Copies of this chain bind each other. A is one copy, B any other.
Amino acid sequence: MQETLRRTFEERDAARGPDGTFRWLVEEVGELARALRDRDPDALAHEFSDVLAWLGSLANLVGVDLEAAVARYAEGCPRCGSSPCACEPR
């Protein structure tokens, strides 16, 4: 996914920079909040994908591999090490 995003948006992501790209991410998180309120399945899928795409663009800009980063969740909860998680509920 990040490779496709890089091929598609690298130039404008670089021109915009991390701060402007973070602002876009937050804007899409706001649209996700609205879709959660409306509970429209198509809008939800749309906004989740936009959040994920901006997260991927931002990760590209600062050199983070999302797949490698999220590996800390691969064996269960990174805090307690269990799956299902056995931390105190929050």
Q: A residues engaging B (CB < 8 A)? A: 1, 4-5, 7-12, 15-16, 18-19, 22, 25-26, 29, 32-33, 36, 39, 41, 44-46, 48-49, 51-53, 55, 58-59, 62-66, 68-74, 76-77, 82-85, 89-90
Contact = CB atoms under 8 A, between A and B. Distances in A.
B62 A8 contact: no
A61 to B, nearest CB: 9
Contacts of A41: 63-64
A72 B49 contact: yes
Contacts of A48: 55, 58-59, 64, 66, 69-70
Given A29-B26, A66-B52, A73-B53, A83 B8 contact: yes
